Amino acid sequence: MKPSSLLEKARKNIFDFGCGDASDVVAKLNLQHGLGKVMWVLGSKGIDSRDVVAVTTPDSGITRNKERWQAGFSYGCLIRWPSGKETGKYFAFPQIKPNACGMLVAKIKDIPLISDLCDKLHAIDEKGLRIKGSKIKLNVGVSNHFIELCRVSESSTSGLREGDAVAIIHTSPSECKDMLYNFNSWQSKGGTWEETPLGTLFVLEDDVAKEYLKVYQEVEEFSFAKRKILADRLFKDFEIISNPTHQGLFGDNEARLGLYQFNNEDELLPVTFRWDINVYLMKPKENISEEILSENGFVSEHNRSTLKGLNVLPHGGGYQIPFKAQGWRVMKNGSKNLFSNHNGKNEFVFSSPSEIPYHYRGLEIIEKIEELKLATMAAKLRQEYTLKY
């Protein structure tokens, strides 16, 4: 199959609920490559590639993780392939980079002084904390991680009143990175680099894929526990509102990058933006609904069965990049894809967005979430301060 034909096949299997800006547009161009690779590999092994799909959500955009991007995957998306239960074959694709990142939201007694919180973090740094013998890394300042202290400014939920103090801890189990991303180790267990018309893809099958999912689930449990133990050491008297993962594996056939999964509509899930834009606690709705599917043109029975009831919700706004949405093209250069945008006077070309200027999106993402009937606001939190330590 020609690369162009495979890209077109992948494009048709990306169901788009993105915001349509430059970051979203170029992300979907990149995602065609990653999804196309997965479709090719599964098709070559007798699996129906029509059931390999991606859903881009309102926060769809670039990822600043260079390895993930260059493998052909973006952020603010769900990627799904046929399950082992359906086919008798199990697969995992570590280049998607599921890392069990998440946010803990807790109601606390009062907001500590910045100096007091920093002193506690310093003590943790010096003395160390352990979970089942493993020392945790205090990574609440790297990448987009932070600790945020807020007051409730609006609330329609009984558990939170105006003026209540709320803490948010956004972190990941970076201590466990090697367990998921040491491809040499997974290759020694049976993982293979598969050639496709769009480049190579690292693939785990059957028992190795099952082991990868088991290891991921152990890492995710560590991540949950890490946020809880940090909350305990920093705040003592607290009540957990939610502690969800937004970047990881959700079963043997689904990855979510920047998205929550929820099982009921009573959960309160945080959507965070910049330090100067309120945090929104959202009450999710069962989605994606019949009405929204029809409005967006996803009307075939196959599409409906694939998309209905996915229950997606972004954890944040995602990245903006300073380019127009129109005029993008992709050029192949060896093993790299080059993304080009022409503004009529000059051209900008990059292989990875990790080194280009970026900003964070704002409240237009909340508007899009509500437009798609993914969730409704339960509470608005005004930041007292945001700390990257």
Each residue's pLDDT, cut to its tens digit, for the chain (389 residues) gives 999 999 999 999 999 999 999 999 999 999 999 999 999 999 999 999 999 999 999 999 999 999 999 999 999 999 999 999 999 999 999 999 999 999 999 999 999 999 999 999 999 999 999 998 999 999 999 999 999 999 999 999 999 999 999 999 999 999 999 999 999 999 999 999 999 999 999 999 999 999 999 999 999 999 999 999 999 999 989 999 999 999 999 999 999 999 999 989 999 999 999 999 999 999 999 999 999 999 888 878 888 888 999 999 999 999 999 999 999 999 999 989 999 999 888 999 999 999 899 999 999 999 999 999 999 999 999 999 999 99
User: 3-state SS string over the chain?
Assistant: CCHHHHHHHHHHCEEECCCCCHHHHHHHHHHHHHHHHHHHHHHHCCCCHHHCEEEEEEEEECCCCHHHHHHCCCEEEEEECCCHHHHCCCEECHHHCCCCEEEEEEEECCCCCHHHHHHHHHHHHHHCCEECCEECCCCCCCCCCEEEEEEEEEECCCCCCCCCEEEEEEECCHHHHHHHHCHHHHHHCCCEEEEECCEEEEEEEHHHHHHHHHHHHHHHHHHHHHHHHHHHHHHCCEEEEECCEEEEECCCCEEEECEEECCCCCCCEEEECCCCCCEEEEEECCCCCHHHHHHCCCCCHHHHHHHCCCCEEECECCEECCCCCCCEEEEEECCEEEEEEECCCCEEEECCHHHCCCEECCCHHHHHHHHCCCEEEEEEEEEEEEECC
Does domain 3-387 sit in CATH 1.10.260?
no
Q: What is the pTM (predicted TM-score) of this model?
A: 0.96
Domain extents in the chain: 3-387
